[in-house]
Structure 1
């Protein structure tokens, strides 16, 4: 892969304008990245290169970041609005957005209001952890317009929470859902992880069953991935923890699948479970990686817009603070660097829709048939097939057989080395 390269904001906007042309209205997903947490979780690959002191910044440490974030929003928002972009979904992730105080949230919302026409938003989601949630923050979120919250529980086993480096307790996790309902937020998601090293299926099943009793409309189950440089991966390397074999990781996920299926949930994308179609319609579009243009604001955020992949790397935090308008990577999609499309294609293949050829071309400017014929993607598909994937193809798209998505994906997670052609999620 070639070295990351950048482009001036002015030239970037000119290049995007050339792609947009005369299209009067283009739907846009807006992502706002908040790179702060109350703890450095042992399984999280996002925090590996972030010092604990910066990660856990108090208000004074967060202030320069919020100023840079608002500057970036106020620069790009009006320009994208003039090009016809109108936000339809917004997602604040991280990190932990609810590490922010209500006034900090409102400052970012004011920048968004000044920069975009938000009247067309159909959903605004925000991530949280149980320990960073309280009635005052929820009241501020509701006042601003947040109508969906994603809560990172991961487990309800106290021992497992400690091993994972989580800052919250079992009791805080169980209290989070009633707190959301009391605040008037009825659309929410609970995140869990299957296949943690050393966790037996009985413990996972008890967590899933207890979560089901809370009756959340949406549950996510992420198979554990031993990403290099994370604390848990290093513990596995040193044999302080015992890794599950691939078939045991598949079996762990299938334990969650069976329990959720019996409780009336259905899986619309690998790992994403809902009770009714209404939530799938609202939540699914953001999770479909090739749904349309998205702009990511903040250090660590990624964008796909105007046939470009844009990114501000976590490791360039200081550069972001000094110049938030210049992306550290600004790459126009080409067949010369097909690996840049691993994440969006992999994410789309995790869904029931798969890759729609017309939407792919509209988003990237490339032919999917030509992309698939490159040496990189030829091997990438072969790797997935070796892990058990079966592909269903038509004249309009390609998708993975839903019956084997979880087996292929988890087997590859267990076998892939860092940097290999793994299916990715946004």
Structure 2
């Protein structure tokens, strides 16, 4: 990927086809070890802020755009009950380590899967063990992901009772064609009902909208944006669909309807369109994808809102001394230079905890603490970083050099006490995250993109942007993209 520092708008020669990833990626994976060994060795004394993540890997139906760890499950089933028992046992077992409970969490996130598939009793039991094992005196945000078919008033009461103050729905699109392609089985009437219900119980409501699907027009997207605005929630998030990590079934559906992939120039056009549409409707960006509805948006002088933020992202991924502790099958713990991933198999996760009082984990230790995380992640995604949060003497030289190249290219602006992203930088924020990452992380992303691009069942658009060398671009029009690394 090449930076074009002197070009007015097209700052890169291609668009990265991956929109989010854990950082850091690099490290040497060890053999599977005892989780007790992992958390005994984990020294979290430098940690400033902490987030807790709880994974509920069950869904009533499986969406074709989702590749997360999840499987079909029915509310009240024995499989979900045994998983809940195992999850509670994991929490109580890990609570014996100072590395797990010594830093009070500032945010909690229930993801999946579908956390709202739990019964009210299961919700309260999990909530009880969280309150029993953790100091929640600093907790600011407690978020639950929901799917509208499984939301009831009794569950809202249970979630509120355990401290939840933010509910998120995986709405994805209002368009019936794409809802069918995504295998979304909830009705829009269900969605409208649940959005109103959530307003009775929680301070904040949000939902996801995907865009950039094959065949989607600007008019299609405009209709989705307006309907999203009309829902009246406090915030919403607009994500360009990441086709490299969708299921082949989605692409079979595209082919069946003769829908052609959008180029990444087209996708960028939709991104810019959404921003202007939402800004002129009383919303402001609060991170790379999220928009908050503000009472007085005209008071926002910065491109990224200073009045609202997604605290889960702010407190677990923003800086080198923020960490994330994960619970549940496949849940990930990231702390300093350590990444610890729980057993990915739901079956063995449950069996080992309930029958053997054990938990398999995979451990990766990077070659250094990611002191550069604030530059690589927080600045592009959250839109700002305080200068006193950048430990320049510990930031790898290659990261610092590339950061200063991006400043010179007009992507970030220097203020008296901070660096801020501007609209141009936000438009390319995924590329800037990649560009500033150390070479080892870029290599991992390159290899992932190359491997997924070889999947013949996945179709995606042309990633090239307008090149400085327009003659070369014209000569190559119509040729397939090479499957070599993009770095």
Alignment TM-score, normalising by the size of structure 2: 0.70
Matched, 1:190 2:210: no
Residue number in structure 2 paired with 1:136: 154
Q: Secondary structure at the match of 2:424?
A: coil
Q: Deviations over 1:360-394 (max 9, x none)?
A: 89xxxx93325738xxx98xx99x98xx9945679
**Please, which runs of 5 or more residues in structure 1 have no aligned partner?**
none
Shift of 1:154: 0.8
Q: Is the 8 A contact 1:73 1:115 kept in 2?
A: yes
Residue number in structure 2 paired with 1:320: 349
Shift of 1:257: 1.3
Q: Which residue, out of 274, 295, 304, partners 2:334?
A: 304
Q: Deviations over 1:58-77 (max 9, x none)?
A: 52111221111111111123
Q: Is the 8 A contact 2:340 2:364 kept in 1?
A: yes
| Alpha-carbon distance in structure 2 between the residues aligned to 1:218 and 1:290 | 20
| Alpha-carbon distance in structure 1 between the residues aligned to 2:394 and 2:374 | 17
Q: Which residue, out of 195, 205, 208, partners 1:177?
A: 195
| Alpha-carbon distance in structure 2 between the residues aligned to 1:393 and 1:369 | 20
Shift of 1:307: 3.5
Within 5 Å, give how 1:203-218 maps onto structure 2.
203-218=220-235
Residue number in structure 1 paired with 2:462: none
Within 5 Å, give how 1:75-154 maps onto structure 2.
75-80=93-98, 84-154=102-172
Cα distance change on mapping 1:328 and 1:78 into 2, 3 Å: closer
Shift of 1:101: 0.8
Cα distance change on mapping 1:6 and 1:389 into 2, 3 Å: farther
Q: Is the 8 A contact 2:288 2:429 kept in 1?
A: no
Q: Deviations over 1:204-225 (max 9, x none)?
A: 2112112212221111001111
Q: Secondary structure at the match of 2:36?
A: helix
| Alpha-carbon distance in structure 1 between the residues aligned to 2:38 and 2:419 | 31
| Alpha-carbon distance in structure 2 between the residues aligned to 1:343 and 1:58 | 42
Q: Secondary structure at the match of 1:142?
A: helix
Q: Which has the larger radius of gyration?
A: 2
Cα distance change on mapping 1:75 and 1:140 into 2, 3 Å: same
Matched, 1:8 2:29: no
Q: Is the 8 A contact 1:247 1:411 kept in 2?
A: no
Matched, 1:68 2:98: no
Matched, 1:409 2:437: no
Query: Paired residues, what number?
Result: 396
Alignment TM-score, normalising by the size of structure 1: 0.79
Residue number in structure 2 paired with 1:247: 265
Within 5 Å, give how 1:206-355 maps onto structure 2.
206-228=223-245, 230-231=247-248, 234-235=251-252, 241-276=259-294, 283-288=309-314, 289-291=317-319, 292-312=322-342, 314=344, 316-324=345-353, 326-335=359-368, 345-346=376-377, 349-353=380-384
Q: Secondary structure at the match of 2:164?
A: coil
Q: Deviations over 1:240-278 (max 9, x none)?
A: 542111111111222221221111111121111112499
Shift of 1:342: 9.2
Cα distance change on mapping 1:135 and 1:356 into 2, 3 Å: farther
Residue number in structure 2 paired with 1:40: 62
**Please, which runs of 5 or more residues in structure 2 have no aligned partner?**
1-26, 297-304, 435-444, 453-487
Matched, 1:368 2:395: yes
Cα distance change on mapping 1:396 and 1:84 into 2, 3 Å: farther
Q: Which protein has the bigger helix share?
A: 1
| Alpha-carbon distance in structure 1 between the residues aligned to 2:432 and 2:390 | 29
Q: Secondary structure at the match of 2:33?
A: coil
Q: Is the 8 A contact 1:44 1:230 kept in 2?
A: yes
Cα distance change on mapping 1:162 and 1:356 into 2, 3 Å: farther
Q: Is the 8 A contact 2:337 2:367 kept in 1?
A: no
* Greater RCO (CA < 8 Å, at least 6 residues apart): 2
Q: Is the 8 A contact 1:250 1:410 kept in 2?
A: no
